Amino acid sequence: MIPYGRQNISDDDIEAVTAVLKSDFLTQGQAVPAFEQAVASKTGAGFALATNSATSALHIACLALGLQSGDLLWTTPITFVASANCARYCGADVDFVDIDPATGNMSPAALKEKFITAEKNGRLPKVIVPVHLCGQSCDMAAISALARHYGCHIIEDASHAIGGQYQNEPVGCGRFSDITVFSFHPVKIITTGEGGMALTNSAELAHKMALYRSHGISRDEVDMTEASHGPWYYQQTLLGFNYRMTDIQAALGLSQLTRLDSFVLQRRELAAFYDTLLADVDVTPLTQLPDSGSAWHLYVVQIDNVQGTAAANRKEVFNYMREQGVGVNVHYIPVHLQPYYRNLGFSAGDYPAAEDYYRKALTIPLYPDLTTEQQRYISATLIAALAGRSGVEPG
Ligand SMILES: *Cc1c(COP(=O)(O)O)cnc(C)c1O
């Protein structure tokens, strides 16, 4: 089976990890700050905090922004559940903003409408979490203008988008948000096995996130509310977690980071080749906006309504391609349709554009080591699957 995504591990990566394993510090050594420094300078962010996942980075980002019970966080339904769950960890409520069907990203028009209604109803969100779907940045200029107007914070969930650009600046630079989060899960652009990072230009937010990342404990005199007992003293001032990244992971990340630009370049070339291969095929790729340079985490095609319902088409195409050894996937099941969120009061029909996208979306394999031959095979298999739907025998 050709997977939909997978890591690229070099001999240098293995050597970097081995070096840490042979060193004195498997965690809380020098590799984590080195990785943080490297990502900060790569993106232009002032501060970077490595975590054991993007999910925990989202959690400490929400905590640092003061999200708590009684507060509200808005995100998009077309994302991984973690973008919404971070609010629930803090006891806050979640609501969703429908997508722009062209890009699959949070729609600034829907956001504007939702803000107007929310203001009338007297319940504005404290935080919004736009997600850069498939690696393409959201329209952050529009989203941040609205957020500023209504006095709410922004966490960019850039789990798909390290190495991408928006308006010619790296995603993560923080021009349009308070905090940006990256994921280093193996299917993402670079990997640390499990891992994530929170970036910010605010020293205060960075400081708070550092506390939440590590038990709420500080050894720094300036943080202490009581006099130190001596050189061994540390003080816990709030309830934090152990969300630290290990040095083993950070060494892998640091080594991977040296290939970030080439990974993104390869992904862009592979995506462009799919565009060519599928140009005359009855599927719609997501629209790429001119001010965005996608990191191309995922290549999603939308299976249009050839015959019967779009959902039936997509399922048949999915099953056929899996049978032919192509590891297609679906990104994403709208979060509000998950049983957990339905139990909180959401239901089908709440976000029509997201639900329509979900009926059509199919992710085909995309990762740096994918070969031209594999791409031709994947495209031919997709074409055969679609032909099967319109009554022609799949070849
Ligand atoms: C992968 C992903 C996450 C979670 O990342 P982890 O590092 O696995 O915790 C969050 N949001 C989005 C959009 C993702 O794709």
**1 within domain boundaries:** no
pLDDT in tens, 91-111: 999 999 999 999 999 999 999
What is the structure's pLDDT at 391? 45
**Domain with 110 in it:** 11-97+104-257
Convert the pLDDT of each residue in 215-225 to its tens digit. 999 988 888 88
Whether 195 is in a domain gets the answer yes
In the prediction, which pLDDT does 328 show? Answer: 98
Looking at residue 223, what is its pLDDT?
Answer: 83
Structure confidence at residue 395 (pLDDT)? 40
Question: Is 45 part of a structural domain of the chain?
Answer: yes
Q: Residue 220's pLDDT is what? A: 86
pLDDT at 37: 98
Q: Is the CB of 80 under 6 A from ligand 1?
A: yes
Separation of 53 CA from ligand 1 center, angstroms? 8
d(CA 118, CA 121): 5
Q: What are 251-305's pLDDT values in tens digits?
A: 999 999 999 999 999 999 999 999 999 999 989 999 999 999 999 999 999 997 6
Most ligand 1 atoms within 8 A of CB, residue of 4, 76, 80, 86 to mutate? 80
Residue whose CA lies nearest to ligand 1 atom number 6: 54
Same domain, 290 and 192: no
**pLDDT above 70: residue 308:** no
**Average pLDDT over every residue of 146-167:** 98
Residues 337 and 231 placed together within one structural domain of the fold? no
> Can you read off the two tokens belonging to residue 42?
């790569």
Q: Are residues 197 and 288 in the same domain?
A: no
Residue 196's pLDDT is what? 98
Ligand 1 centroid to Cα of residue 64, in Å, is 19
User: Is the predicted pLDDT of residue 394 greater than 60, yes or no?
Assistant: no
CB atoms within 10 A of CB 309: 10
Q: Determine contact, residues 15/252, Cβ cutoff 8 Å.
A: no
Q: What is the pLDDT of residue 387?
A: 84
* Closest ligand 1 atom, residue 331 Cα: 15
The per-residue pLDDT for 334 is 98
118 assigned to some structural domain: yes
Q: Mind listing the pLDDT tens digit for each residue in 370-389?
A: 999 999 999 999 999 988 75
Question: According to the model, what pLDDT value does residue 388 have?
Answer: 74
Tell me, yes or no, whether 168 lies in a domain: yes
Answer yes or no: do 208 and 322 share one domain: no
* Closest ligand 1 atom to 194 CA: 7
Q: Are strands 299-303 and 361-364 parallel, antiparallel or unpaired?
A: antiparallel
Given a cut of 90, is residue 60 above it in pLDDT?
yes
Is the confidence at residue 210, as pLDDT, over 50?
yes
Domain of residue 336, CATH code: 3.90.1150.10
Q: What percent of the chain has a predicted confidence (pLDDT) above 70?
A: 96
Judge whether 328 and 303 are in contact, CB under 8 Å. Answer: no
Report the pLDDT value the prediction gives residue 160, as an integer from 0 to 100: 98
Sign of CA dihedral 29, 31, 32, 37: positive
Query: 55 with 196, same domain?
Result: yes
Q: What is the pLDDT of residues 237-257, one digit of tens each?
A: 999 999 999 999 999 999 999
The model's pTM is 0.96
CA distance 82 to 94: 12
Q: Which of 231, 257, 283 is the last residue of a domain?
A: 257
393, pLDDT greater than 50? no
Boundary (domain end) residue, out of 257, 285, 309: 257
Same domain, 225 and 89: yes
The domain boundary, picked from 204, 222, 257, lies at 257
Q: Is residue 4 part of a domain?
A: no
Alpha-carbon distance 188 to 179, whole Å? 19
Task: State the residue for tokens 């080749």.
Answer: 273
Q: Are residues 356 and 373 in the same domain?
A: yes
| Domain identity same for 181 and 279 | no
| Residues 292 and 335 placed together within one structural domain of the fold | yes
- Percent of the chain exceeding pLDDT 90 equals 92
Q: List 37's β-bridge partners, or say none.
A: none
Q: Using one digit for the tens of pLDDT, what is the confidence trace for 330-358?
A: 999 999 999 999 999 999 999 999 999 99
The per-residue pLDDT of the chain, averaged, comes to: 95
Q: What is the CATH number of the domain that holds 215?
A: 3.40.640.10
Whether residues 302 and 343 share a domain: the answer is yes
Q: Give yes or no for residue 79 CB within 6 A of ligand 1.
A: yes
Buried b (16+ CB within 10 A) or exposed e, 49-84: bbbbbbbbbbbbbbbbbebeeebbbbbbbbbbebbb
**Whether residue 267 is found in the same domain as residue 242:** no
In a domain, 395, yes or no: no
| Number of domains comprising the chain | 2
pLDDT computed for residue 238 by the predictor: 94
Q: What is the pLDDT of residue 311?
A: 59
Query: Can you tell me the mean pLDDT for 170-177?
Result: 98
- The answer on 161 and 82 residing in a single domain is yes
